[in-house]
Structure 1
């Protein structure tokens, strides 16, 4: 078996208003051992995934249903946790979008994708099918990223949905997860009434601004503990803007279905370390 490969890539400048990052992971697991599920709690990033080798089995807690993923999926806004059972030869390419980027490139209202993933070919047709076929033939990781990037650049060239102030406000919310924004203030930053802002936010981000802020804060707390395992939970409460530890546990139960301690235990038992979100 080859050594595991894991790397994040920055998109080219022309795609940076739409795409936050690419991630490529290639892991070969021992076929004599049973496949173990990886917990994947909610995070605010919307994604396009390609599975260039083995398929992934996904258990969705929102729908209490397990399914086998197609070769490429679009993942919209997520509130519910999923469990991912990787194949023995797992080569995953993730495109992580900027707020509003997935809506702009594919045109589907994001609220329709809340806690759902769909076969990418349903939105992109044979184009995506051809990309899947080409990825299966490639062995060079950089060529894989270049192929996906070339496809996304073709989507930008045919773009019909312009950038909107709501996208910039959502980006601000991502970067300022500890700051308690009021709906009226957020709406004023987008030059909209509160009602117009909520409607546009649902269309482009897929959930209410209040729920989005909770997802952002939870994802930051989870990432912080993963990056600094020795950090005390009370420090995480303070750094991530929680009122107290009870509120943090409440969010973990909602977005991860378990307590913080239990989620870390599941992470430790998983065969692959997953990194939701972007390092950039």
Structure 2
């Protein structure tokens, strides 16, 4: 995801990419030992600068069209077809993160380590962490959709061993226990018991 905000304004524009879309559009050079986020950010900087310039020149309602135009120009300059990482990321999304990374690696003809290196370079995270994030995102959406969710049912529906496992993952990804998180974010419809 890219989030752009014009200087001195509280308005911005978010652009969401499919898991390897960012990589295929911006082709960051992979440097051993370099922070992946810094590398991905630098690779997109010319696009970001061009889009910010267009955003300053047009009304807010025209920002998505300006982004589409620049992205289509970028896509025209790339010749990519789905690859192994794209297939694995798609499978992780399709199965809500409930997958075996080893089986996915074998399914695309890569060793687990090869898949991890390529996934890290193209998606920006390891496949196992990506699957955990996808699974947690589904659980969070289920919790947010119900004013009085049954945590045990959500845990099992999302492939957690039990409610305690879900709560550990909740802390891992939000930095808070569920009750503390939802107290701090009262606009969320989720309540804890």
Please give the root-mean-square deviation of Cα atoms over the aligned residues, in Å.
2.9
Q: Which runs of 4+ in 1 moved over 4 A?
A: 109-114, 116-120, 124-127
- From 96, 106, 113, give the equivalent of 1:177: 96
Change beyond 3 A, Cα 1:262–1:125: closer
How many angstroms apart in 2 are the aligned matches of 1:90 and 1:117? 24
Residue 140 of structure 1 and its aligned partner are, at CA, apart by 4.4
Indicate the structure with greater strand content.
1
- From 250, 260, 273, give the equivalent of 2:178: 260
How many angstroms apart in 2 are the aligned matches of 1:168 and 1:133? 35
| 2:20 is the alignment partner of 1:50 | no
TM-score, normalisation: structure 1: 0.59
Q: Which runs of 5+ in 1 are unaligned?
A: 1-46, 55-88, 274-280
Change beyond 3 A, Cα 1:236–1:130: same
Residue 236 of structure 1 and its aligned partner are, at CA, apart by 1.3
Residue 217 of structure 1 and its aligned partner are, at CA, apart by 1.2
TM-score, normalisation: structure 2: 0.82
User: Which residue in the other structure is 2:52 paired with?
Assistant: 132
Residue 230 of structure 1 and its aligned partner are, at CA, apart by 2.3
* Number of aligned positions between the proteins: 187
How many angstroms apart in 2 are the aligned matches of 1:154 and 1:244? 47
User: Which residue in the other structure is 1:214 paired with?
Assistant: 132
How many angstroms apart in 1 are the aligned matches of 2:75 and 2:108? 23
Change beyond 3 A, Cα 1:112–1:221: farther
Q: Deviations over 1:169-200 (max 9, x none)?
A: 21111121263x32331012212233322222
Could you tell me whether the CA contact under 8 Å between 2:160 and 2:166 is conserved in 1? yes
Q: Deviations over 1:214-268 (max 9, x none)?
A: 1111121112222223222122112211101111111111111101121122221
Q: Deviations over 1:135-175 (max 9, x none)?
A: 1232242x211100111111111115543122122111112
| 2:153 is the alignment partner of 1:199 | no
Residue 92 of structure 1 and its aligned partner are, at CA, apart by 2.1
User: Which residue in the other structure is 2:83 paired with?
Assistant: 164
How many angstroms apart in 2 are the aligned matches of 1:208 and 1:149? 29
| 2:101 is the alignment partner of 1:147 | no
Could you tell me whether the CA contact under 8 Å between 1:51 and 1:91 is conserved in 2? yes
User: Which residue in the other structure is 1:251 paired with?
Assistant: 169
How many angstroms apart in 1 are the aligned matches of 2:92 and 2:40? 29
Change beyond 3 A, Cα 1:156–1:241: same
Change beyond 3 A, Cα 1:184–1:265: same
Change beyond 3 A, Cα 1:49–1:117: farther
How many angstroms apart in 1 are the aligned matches of 2:75 and 2:120? 22
SS of alignment partner, residue 150 of structure 1:
helix
